[in-house]
């Protein structure tokens, strides 16, 4: 669920901005656990963010992905974390991510 823009990310969490320029509603802010940064699906998205935006940005980390696809990606990471013995292949990815 999108987080309030005025809220600071608590220790161990990271604010990200998700959205595509042509997407209705623009960008939305989310707060995710830092541990997600080590997941292969999010690492692929971070590589793409570097290609699109570079390393030097101000504010929350921007992810070039539709909000719907990001919500699905987050769901998959959470499902995998809750289901340690059933890993989803990281080769499955999304249209806009």
Please give, one letter per residue, the 3-state secondary structure of the chain.
Answer: CCCCCCCCCCCCEEEEEECCCCCCCCCEEEEEEHHHHHCHHHHHHHHHHHHHHCCCCCCCEEECCCHHHHHHHHHHHHHHHHCCCCCCCCCCCCCCC
Q: What is the pLDDT of residue 85?
A: 47
pLDDT digits (tens, 9 = 90+) for 47-97: 998 898 887 767 788 898 999 999 999 999 999 888 764 444 444 444 555
Name the token pair of 84: 């340690």
**In the chain, where the domains are located:** 13-82
Read off the pTM. Answer: 0.72
Q: What is the pLDDT of residue 25?
A: 67
pLDDT digits (tens, 9 = 90+) for 1-44: 444 455 677 889 999 999 887 666 678 999 999 999 999 999 99
Cβ atoms 17, 63 nearer than 8 A: yes
Q: What is the pLDDT of residue 23?
A: 67
């Amino acid at each position: 669920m999108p987080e309030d823009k005025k809220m600071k990310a608590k220790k161990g969490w990271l604010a990200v901005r998700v959205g595509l320029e042509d997407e209705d509603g623009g960008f939305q802010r989310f707060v995710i656990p830092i541990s997600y940064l080590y997941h292969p699906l999010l690492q692929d998205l971070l590589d793409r963010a570097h290609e699109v935006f570079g390393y030097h940005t101000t504010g929350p980390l921007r992810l070039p992905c539709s909000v719907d696809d990001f919500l699905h990606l987050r769901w998959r990471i959470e499902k995998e974390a809750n289901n340690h013995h059933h890993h989803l292949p990281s080769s499955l990815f999304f249209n806009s991510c």
